[in-house]
Structure 1
């Protein structure tokens, strides 16, 4: 069960607009006239990786319990029973009203943690209402504009300490372990230049001539997806795979035929839906610039990358070739240094079990989540070992980090003066994370968030 967060406030302060903003869809009716919402409405939210159920409620009105507004208020009161948190929405442009103060007194009598949301705070028109909201005695307000999406990161920061301990099991699994929610079939796309042997490799895995192959380059046009079961010799069990064959990707300048353009576009589209992408090289041609461009595209799309050298059975100077490609990959793909490199032969089947094993291991890393506590222990150690710089003598404060998602791993760092944080320090954090938390060579995304402070100049 997801923890519930209930939106409460008097009519026409923007509760349903906030509900729609958090859910990401226009589920709740919104209108300028008050009292549009009457019943509770539920929606699932994932806010920067924080999962909860949001509850929209009717506007609170001080009416007799037997009247329609009174019964609506009873629905709102019932919604708070068992809730993990409440968002008390006020209209910062209108300022506090006696009804706001009455709602605040009622909320103070409950045991539910309350966050005041000063809505309609875009521009400076809401500043006075924001200051007035401190008088409610419910802590620091979160200045927001639900209509324009401003202040969402600050709302996340306010809810994180309340909701993080209540997250579903899959949010707080140990590194690499997720027994509650087993992964589906491995979505494995094979990409590369024309005639690298992509279709031949898939036929060898299937042990049948499932795909058309031949010496001509560019036989494959459509991206073909095939469901298959691989027997893992190490685990002694069957594992499901969806193999995706793609068209060869030549240099863009050489692609003039309309069908080839469509085929290459389809191949790029297949990358977007894959989990792990195997870039297949031709051992007789080595690593070319176009291969690095394909690899860079895979990484930019956030997919896990493996490089396989095909036609290993006919390679000249195999050791020198392998080491040369390893060095060129580390130089050309510095952002994912150490990407897995496997030697295979699609013709004989050599190395294919190693390739599949590496693909499953890489997906596990790509899908990994780190508990917030462990993540922040690493964060503190990383900053202690190499503190953030102080450009102009002013310290850059990095407060904490949280993982907002996986597939690929995504993180948000909160702090102040983050616009001045050098890219070199971001790279340091990413490289330390790869080394210390076991993220290896999968793409890692870090976002920097500085909470807006409307009182900084006061």
Structure 2
């Protein structure tokens, strides 16, 4: 939501009405991007707006715009005073810092649970993709029962993505026919480049993607790239082997195709596979049940209790590997959104979890909760093992902040005294050595003549001792009361 500039006015002027629109945008937003001018630095209006945003229980990302020149360095440093952490230096005009902004958005939105609203009248968007002349348009015509799309033996008839609304057993369906995608090296014409971009856009906005392949040369390089693109976009996937009426040994060929799919695309292991012939109609009736089943699994929501029971079992069966001799401790896991299923794992030093262990957890989720072929997103949020250290607050409702004064006194005192710098730590260690105390006003001496004094030390009975003016040694131990 783009908002107008924030003005500190309350009258009936245009600026006041724009401020009301900005306030409404803040209320509706899940993440707030607070943009300031790095060249001008922090202004009074920035401070007023920052005070307003602190009252919102929403993540705020501070953007220091116009940071492409050296003049903006001071403004970026001043941005820390607004209290929103490290600012993200960007240049909206030149496109600089967009990768950092994207990373900040991913981190800020990890804990936001986006509730999917079920709309019974909303159509399920299904994109039909594949190489040229794979039979995509013919398949859609067979599904809807009429020649809605132009077909023919020539490759590349379809140039644009065409949407067809259809109803299947009471469920509204929107089928999207796309242009065939060839290898990038073969795409030379400008029109074909636009068609490929249109196909990629159709994949992005689809919910289920059907990859149509020729049974004789299925899973070549282009088919694998298309399926990998579907997985990276987080869409549900269904394989279709077309021209199946010409197959002489269907059972053996189907087993071979499924094995190839699992070997070449292990991240989509278990995706449904449908063999059909769009020309004769053989096997077409099995496509829509497979599509609806994939859509159901893609929209699944797992209870937090079941997730943490599974996490305990998975980590006991295969504990996280040690990093620098220290074991990584997993705390708990929660699902933050569906479509595709997205999970967040909280662990101590979670950023050190290796990729192979994350793949193990992802595959275990897919196997334990019966989600074959569903793209799963798993992010890890880590922190210090000390719950009172900076960045190591206890999971869930944070009891203590690392820099807060609500932490126990013993923890705060130790944290203030000990330093991680080698020289400073050695100096602090020396200062902790007990030094003998000397009675003020009396000079220290090694002799025991009258009127002198020695440093206080521990006596045989644990009391302090000193030489009195008469030359006797007083231990400081009190006599027991007389009976």
1:391 alignment partner, SS class: coil
Show the 5 A alignment for 1:254-403.
Answer: 254-403=186-335
Counterpart Cα distance in 1 of 2:109 and 2:206: 30
Give the match for residue 218 of structure 1. Answer: 156
Give the match for residue 182 of structure 2. Answer: 250
Match of 1:44 among 24, 28, 43: 28
CA deviations over 1:197-241 (Å, ceiling 9, x no partner): 00000011111111111111111110100000123xxxxxx2211
Counterpart Cα distance in 1 of 2:311 and 2:349: 18
Structure 2: give runs of 5+ residues left out of the alignment. 9-15, 33-44, 46-51, 61-75, 90-100, 384-389, 392-401, 404-414, 421-483
Give the match for residue 425 of structure 1. Answer: 357
Structure 1: give runs of 5+ residues left out of the alignment. 1-23, 49-58, 60-75, 90-121, 131-142, 172-177, 232-237
In terms of Rg, which structure is larger?
2
Q: 1:153 Cα deviation (Å)?
A: 9.0
Q: 1:384 Cα deviation (Å)?
A: 2.4
The CA RMSD measured in Å over matched residues stands at: 4.1
Deviates more, 1:222-231 or 1:362-371: 362-371
CA deviations over 1:9-39 (Å, ceiling 9, x no partner): xxxxxxxxxxxxxxx65468267xxxx9998
Call closer, same or farther: CA 1:245–1:295 in 2, change over 3 Å. same
Call closer, same or farther: CA 1:38–1:294 in 2, change over 3 Å. closer
Preserved contact between residue 132 and residue 181 of structure 2 (Cα < 8 Å): yes
2:181 alignment partner, SS class: coil
Q: 1:144 Cα deviation (Å)?
A: 3.7
Show the 5 A alignment for 1:71-90.
Answer: none
Counterpart Cα distance in 1 of 2:121 and 2:355: 34
Call closer, same or farther: CA 1:126–1:269 in 2, change over 3 Å. closer
Call closer, same or farther: CA 1:308–1:27 in 2, change over 3 Å. same
Match of 2:126 among 188, 197, 202: 188
Call closer, same or farther: CA 1:352–1:46 in 2, change over 3 Å. farther
Q: 1:385 Cα deviation (Å)?
A: 2.2
Counterpart Cα distance in 2 of 1:334 and 1:213: 34
Q: 1:408 Cα deviation (Å)?
A: 1.3
2:154 alignment partner, SS class: coil
Call closer, same or farther: CA 1:287–1:315 in 2, change over 3 Å. farther
Show the 5 A alignment for 1:54-69.
Answer: none
Preserved contact between residue 145 and residue 151 of structure 1 (Cα < 8 Å): no
Counterpart Cα distance in 2 of 1:392 and 1:252: 44
Give the match for residue 29 of structure 1. Answer: 6
Deviates more, 1:189-198 or 1:401-410: 401-410
Q: 1:310 Cα deviation (Å)?
A: 0.9
2:127 alignment partner, SS class: strand
Counterpart Cα distance in 2 of 1:323 and 1:292: 18
1:392 alignment partner, SS class: coil
1:307 alignment partner, SS class: strand
Call closer, same or farther: CA 1:278–1:124 in 2, change over 3 Å. same
Q: 1:286 Cα deviation (Å)?
A: 3.4
2:374 alignment partner, SS class: coil
Give the match for residue 94 of structure 1. Answer: none
Call closer, same or farther: CA 1:392–1:253 in 2, change over 3 Å. same
Call closer, same or farther: CA 1:27–1:448 in 2, change over 3 Å. farther
CA deviations over 1:134-173 (Å, ceiling 9, x no partner): xxxxxxxxx745887899999889xx7xxx9xx89x57xx
Counterpart Cα distance in 1 of 2:382 and 2:121: 34
Figure out how many residues of one structure are paired with residues of the other and give that number.
340
Q: Which has the higher contact order (CA 8 A, sep 6+)?
A: 1
Preserved contact between residue 308 and residue 342 of structure 1 (Cα < 8 Å): yes
Give the TM-score taking structure 2 as reference length.
0.61
More strand by share: 1
1:404 alignment partner, SS class: strand
Give the match for residue 71 of structure 1. Answer: none
Call closer, same or farther: CA 1:384–1:123 in 2, change over 3 Å. farther
Counterpart Cα distance in 2 of 1:292 and 1:319: 22
